[in-house]
Structure 1
């Protein structure tokens, strides 16, 4: 580690690791050169080789994608591949260590300005963050520049949940039963358990347990067109079976082998969304909802029956309680209910808006 003064009057700092040359830079002042050397030496002592960060981002990205191809699900790998297309060319061509939070934020802004949906930019951010987390783990860089940058809020209208009320679910169930009793039973179970479509398709008879309490062990998922994989978030959860749907699940499991699919057509075949919505005339009987709104229905049903939000979080498999709180806000919080009671109650001796309206 040395600093020399050049013929032009500037200061050249050279970093070595033992006898091996690592890198060098030229500065206007000796203090700047010394500070750079100290930073690079600290990084090198901490296990991050400054030379590794000199690789072009696109070359490191190719190596990471080769690893992801054999370590993650096909759908996840496909999303990761989009980084080649979405990362701005200018950013792909810079040194890995030169990518700062500002470059990351600009890439979000460019994608949003180009018309990419907010949700797609959020997915892009997630993949980019995993990429840089891998770079940190491989000691190519010392810090993940994505973690401190959020995707700007765009103006696209958010997809709102539209759950059934409990009475509305029962009314729809009666209509579905006239079209196909088995499919109607399965959708009612989804409306009481919050299973995702892929989780329902992959559920096996062995995942139905009755001891110590009736429930479904959610371990697998199989979205259409994909092989069986772990659930979203890769965590197992237990979902209770209320009496309203327990007998239905018992009937579906009766006489079946443990590794048979639990939710199937009458002929024992795996269910497909297209056939299901066609048979049940979902466009009409679902009243504009998505099948995924059955999951929202379950969460709202649980909360409206005073199940604790933390318990609902566990049953739904939400990583964050903030996700569960969306349902609380949809239903109305205790503060909302207390405020509404105040609006509807007589103002009493204190007078108020009603007295003013009556000329008091």
Structure 2
């Protein structure tokens, strides 16, 4: 296996399979176990893998994703998380390993650590939260229980008892995680059915949604137009003009901006749904882009003036700016404000769903009450017919 330094040039043109070979693996020089597999097939996309020793002393492989979906930095991060989880996992005898465990002996703990978590790390941005939720709340009760011995009744008792120490929403999160894990266990043929399918949740609506009214918005915009921290102010105005998520804005690149078409492409690796999407750029967003000095100087729209790389957080600057403007909202509420202005001005919930990139229309329905308000105002316009006749 060739050991290579993964420079941008090598990533762009060196990841190919030599003639006469069906595949080749290129190992990352400074990240043991991490490598890219390239196949001879013209349709095959090179993919990241992590190689580790299992309890039997043989190699096991975990696919992290293709090079199109996962960057080198993201692959390194996933590899280190998996290595850390492997080190922290208790050593087990051969009879306890997941690949040989029978349906009667595989415990929830074995399944979560050796199957669910590696899968979650590769497929979910919230894998760390899943690990914490399992370790702190589910493991003390269920970790030694065989998968096929978990009963719906015991889980429902746990669900109700959890209310004594946590909120209904937190109790639901535990059940959702356990239900999702058992769904995967069914798919992977470890158990025959998921006993938690259809289990009732508390379904408490605890979503926090704050919107700026027009006066508050003007106060905030005045601060953002005049404050000395121009980069952060332009980031916030860009978010407010597009309804994008913070991470999408911080990592936005010029190569994905099409000013002529007025479109911004968010790559799958940076999207919450892990699917690519396009965000239309309105006049306000295009104005923000005109103010940027980074075009031609950096690949990023909003590079940090100190590091030249994307900001990892702008929380402290935001706290100062919102206090200066006299508003008390989260950065994510700028996205809600953008959506509220769309709906209140007569745009349909379907249009809002497409612009915000909601994969589930149920998420967009949180703005339905704003749509009802717009319809009521439209209906009130019709009241003039009777009033004039009277």
- TM superposition score category, shorter chain reference: 0.5 to 0.7
Task: State the match for 2:206 in structure 1.
Answer: 158
Q: Is the aligned partner of 1:302 residue 2:342?
A: yes
Distance in 1 (alpha carbons) for counterparts of 2:383 and 2:104: 62
Q: CA deviation at 1:193?
A: 0.8
Number of positions where the alignment pairs a residue of Structure 1 with one of Structure 2: 288
Q: CA deviation at 1:125?
A: 3.2
Distance in 2 (alpha carbons) for counterparts of 1:162 and 1:215: 27
Q: Is the aligned partner of 1:97 residue 2:148?
A: yes
**Contact 1:65–1:80 at 8 Å: present in 2 too?**
no
Distance in 1 (alpha carbons) for counterparts of 2:208 and 2:192: 39
Task: State the match for 2:240 in structure 1.
Answer: 191
Task: State the match for 2:303 in structure 1.
Answer: 264
1:167/1:192 CA distance change after superposition, 3 Å: farther
Task: State the match for 2:267 in structure 1.
Answer: 219
Distance in 1 (alpha carbons) for counterparts of 2:351 and 2:366: 15
Q: CA deviation at 1:299?
A: 0.9
Larger Rg: 1
Q: CA deviation at 1:237?
A: 1.5
Q: Is the aligned partner of 1:246 residue 2:269?
A: no
Task: State the match for 1:117 in structure 2.
Answer: 167
Equivalent position to 2:180, from 116, 121, 130: 130
1:190/1:74 CA distance change after superposition, 3 Å: closer
Task: State the match for 1:60 in structure 2.
Answer: 111
Map 1:18-37 → 2, pairs under 5 A = none
Task: State the match for 1:22 in structure 2.
Answer: none
Equivalent position to 1:293, from 333, 339, 363: 333
Q: Is the aligned partner of 1:139 residue 2:189?
A: yes
Q: CA deviation at 1:139?
A: 0.6
Structure 2, gaps ≥5 residues long: 1-100
Task: State the match for 2:221 in structure 1.
Answer: 173
**Contact 2:220–2:325 at 8 Å: present in 1 too?**
yes
Q: CA deviation at 1:345?
A: 9.8
**Contact 2:345–2:374 at 8 Å: present in 1 too?**
no
**Contact 2:294–2:300 at 8 Å: present in 1 too?**
no
Q: CA deviation at 1:199?
A: 1.5
Map 1:326-337 → 2, pairs under 5 A = 326-330=366-370, 332-333=372-373, 336-337=376-377
SS at match of 1:160: coil
Distance in 2 (alpha carbons) for counterparts of 1:339 and 1:70: 50
Structure 1, gaps ≥5 residues long: 1-49, 221-228, 351-360
Distance in 1 (alpha carbons) for counterparts of 2:300 and 2:289: 12
1:93/1:266 CA distance change after superposition, 3 Å: closer
Task: State the match for 2:252 in structure 1.
Answer: 203
Map 1:30-49 → 2, pairs under 5 A = none
**Contact 2:346–2:371 at 8 Å: present in 1 too?**
no
Distance in 2 (alpha carbons) for counterparts of 1:319 and 1:291: 21
1:306/1:340 CA distance change after superposition, 3 Å: closer
1:341/1:307 CA distance change after superposition, 3 Å: closer
1:194/1:88 CA distance change after superposition, 3 Å: same
TM-score, scaled relative to structure 2? 0.63
SS at match of 1:103: helix
